[in-house]
Structure 1
């Protein structure tokens, strides 16, 4: 073998050695990557397994947490204890008192329960409560308990009153400044806070430009008792809105069926019925007339809206009054008024949600309280001449 051949053989052997080394490195790198991938898979699998365990355990724990909070503390313990709910206690304070006395197991769950069920009007007093009672039984009892003391004063708000009239009633009977009360009624930022607090009954509709007072019609007609000498206007308004919410929510299934009308429009109709009718029979029949006219795209032509537009209290509406320019004048504008023209009674709300079905399109409310109905305009004109002679 020549030197040249020997060098070539050496080069070939070196080349083979290099190839073997390269292959060996590739193999080692491959095995290393496989090992790393396996490690990553194990870590990911472990994390997923851990996450699944956390979700299952957390969900199970959450379920039993809520379940235990909703169940009686001890169904077998029917012993009772005296629990005192002080005057002015909030829902949170009541929940804490009940938990501290062992009547409920979780004050947070109870607060959610009260909110979800729209429970309100809790009464201060001393109650005999048991750990075996359900949340509903506890709630019902503290809504109807015995008051610990007589009210300092009571104010009765009749049906069909405007906000201005309500302000005067509070000024007369509770020494609440009427001007300050009405100032609150015009405070847009305050009204927005109330919309957030009572979304079941209040909406942005009450902030429409044509609305005279956003809360007109929303302060419920009832007797309100006060246990402090100088209640704030804010507390009065909240008491009244809570009563409105309580009544309206009782009728929520019926309101949901009247899909073409919002809560605001239903209460607007209820206020119109309230101002026109004296008896339940007339309320239901007049509500039917209003719906008949709305369905035929006829103007409502109801006198109380004219009086509201005028801002006056008059025994008789004159022909010239019918020309007043106002979005509340139903002799000049189709459809409903922008909002209620007064508060309403529960009977009027019931009539709007269950009106009498007739073919009447007209009615005349006579000064003596009788209401006369007609299906045709000619008959209506006769009734007007007989029972309602307007002056120019």
Structure 2
């Protein structure tokens, strides 16, 4: 190859390198421009979202004090209440209302006929819904605390309605009544509640809450349906989480009830849930004392070794996995723990006399804590 040919090739290579460098510069400019555009767009979206949410939390019309009659049906979910308020022009956006309520951890909204104004701010609206400032005067209310069992709930209903507890309980377990409820609430009350080993079909399904009644003498059927409406609305809020875990309402309420019965005010329920799930995953029985007491049908402060011998599918010392059904009514915090447990390696927990719950990874560690906090008490 001659010197001229070599020189020509070098020139060609040099020209191509210059061309590639030019292309690279163009590409870098394009990438930079696109990145700037994306950043500006993101900033615009975030800024726009902030201003939108801020605007949605303000009164619809600060100058409009004309009251509107707004009905909040019994059993309405937060989503449902938000939609009703938006449709009536009391708030600007039902979705913003929903997330605001969850962010503020607000609860305890009461059903009824309200007089609300477009000039009201979000706090005034929430306060009205929580204090029950309704047009129609309430005849009485029934409060069902968390962790109550069906026999106890029957007693509460009886006390408020001048009925005998045994008559209320009999109605709550009447087969024809149960089947009529199953037809009315097919997504909530499935055939699982009529399984052979179920003690009470409606156990765990009467949601803990305060229920206002505007009639002096509602029937047991009417009272139960109000409570089932509430349970149904709560369970629907967690539909997506239930699908992820492949949970039916029955299985969810069963797990939640076990968590509810073991929880104290000083413990995070999601950690108790983690122990139950870890035990199930490793094939260990749950061995939770409240299930033994439920099997015996009695309440007492301490479970004895002889109590553990009862042959019942509700006895989680003898039978692995969950109980056939709920053993009490669980609140929202226990339901959420059942769906989103903490990620731990704990296999044991121990409740002390002060209400503190101690968690352990091994049996040896658990026994040490038991000797220190229980045996010596």
| Alignment TM-score, normalising by the size of structure 1 | 0.63
Correspondence 1:265 to 2:251: yes
CA displacement at 1:238 relative to structure 2:
0.3
Contact 1:85 1:125 (C-alpha < 8 Å) held by counterparts: yes
In 1, Cα distance between the equivalents of 2:114 and 2:199? 40
Counterpart of 1:388 in 2: which secondary structure?
helix
Q: What are the residue-to-residue correspondences of 1:65-104 with 2, within 5 Å? A: none
Name stretches of at least 5 consecutive residues in structure 2 with no aligned partner.
1-63, 77-87, 89-108, 119-125
Q: What are the residue-to-residue correspondences of 1:100-249 with 2, within 5 Å? A: 123-125=112-114, 146-249=133-236
Q: 1:251 to 1:88 in 2, by over 3 A?
A: closer
Cα shift readout 1:47-98 (whole Å, capped 9, x = no counterpart): xxxxxxxxxxxxxxxxxxxxxxxxxxxxxxxx99987689999x9xxxxxxx
Q: What are the residue-to-residue correspondences of 1:6-25 with 2, within 5 Å? A: none
Corresponding residue for 2:301? 315
Q: What are the residue-to-residue correspondences of 1:265-284 with 2, within 5 Å? A: 265-279=251-265, 281-284=267-270
| 1:297 alignment partner, one of 275, 280, 283 | 283
Counterpart of 1:225 in 2: which secondary structure?
strand
Cα shift readout 1:196-239 (whole Å, capped 9, x = no counterpart): 21122211000001000000000000011111111110011000
In 2, Cα distance between the equivalents of 1:350 and 1:390? 35
In 2, Cα distance between the equivalents of 1:323 and 1:87? 49
CA displacement at 1:193 relative to structure 2:
1.5
Contact 1:217 1:340 (C-alpha < 8 Å) held by counterparts: yes
Contact 2:154 2:169 (C-alpha < 8 Å) held by counterparts: yes
> Where has structure 1 moved over 4 Å in runs of 4 or more?
79-89, 125-129, 143-146
| 1:333 alignment partner, one of 319, 325, 329 | 319
Q: 1:375 to 1:86 in 2, by over 3 A?
A: closer
Cα shift readout 1:137-163 (whole Å, capped 9, x = no counterpart): xxx9xx999522331111211000001
| 2:345 alignment partner, one of 355, 359, 372 | 359
| Alignment TM-score, normalising by the size of structure 2 | 0.66
Counterpart of 1:256 in 2: which secondary structure?
helix
Name which of structure 1's ranges 299-308 and 178-187 shifts more when overlaid on structure 2. Answer: 178-187
| 1:252 alignment partner, one of 227, 231, 239 | 239
Name which of structure 1's ranges 280-289 and 299-308 shifts more when overlaid on structure 2. Answer: 280-289
CA displacement at 1:174 relative to structure 2:
3.3
Q: Who wins on radius of gyration, i.e. which is larger?
A: 1
Counterpart of 1:372 in 2: which secondary structure?
strand
Name stretches of at least 5 consecutive residues in structure 1 with no aligned partner.
1-78, 92-102, 104-119, 130-139
CA displacement at 1:125 relative to structure 2:
4.8
Q: 1:236 to 1:196 in 2, by over 3 A?
A: same
In 1, Cα distance between the equivalents of 2:292 and 2:204? 16
Corresponding residue for 1:42? none
Q: CA RMSD in A?
A: 3.2
The count of aligned residue pairs is 275
Q: 1:389 to 1:311 in 2, by over 3 A?
A: farther
Q: 1:318 to 1:390 in 2, by over 3 A?
A: farther
Name which of structure 1's ranges 306-315 and 382-391 shifts more when overlaid on structure 2. Answer: 382-391
Counterpart of 1:211 in 2: which secondary structure?
coil
